[in-house]
Amino acid sequence: MNRRKEIMKKRTMTEETAITESRQEETARLKDLGAFVQEEEGMGTVEIILIIVVLISLVMIFKTQLRSLVNRVFQKITQDSNTIMS
């Protein structure tokens, strides 16, 4: 009977050790995640300048298409407002 109790006690201790190690690993992962989140500082000046350069380049490339689109939209607005006013 004592032998059985010893085996059960060892098994319980092994399970508790495994649970403890699992919790420690999870805690370490959460700390790593927290460090990663704190490390990210947001957008810097270089990123903002690059975004502006890309936007300006797109406007220059599609300048005529954009102008045409804006003119059509304003013509449609003018026509629709004229029908409402009359």
What would the pLDDT profile of 21-65 be if each residue is shown by its tens digit?
A: 878 888 887 777 677 666 666 678 888 999 999 999 999 999 999
Q: Which residues contact 59 (CB under 8 A, 6 or more apart)?
A: 66
Say whether pLDDT at 81 is over 90: no
Say whether pLDDT at 80 is over 80: yes
Q: What is the pLDDT of residue 15?
A: 74
Say whether pLDDT at 67 is over 90: yes
The whole-angstrom separation of Cα 8 and Cα 85 is 90
Q: Tokens representing 16?
A: 């508790």
Place of tokens 């420690």: 24
The whole-angstrom separation of Cα 17 and Cα 66 is 67
Q: Tokens representing 23?
A: 């919790």
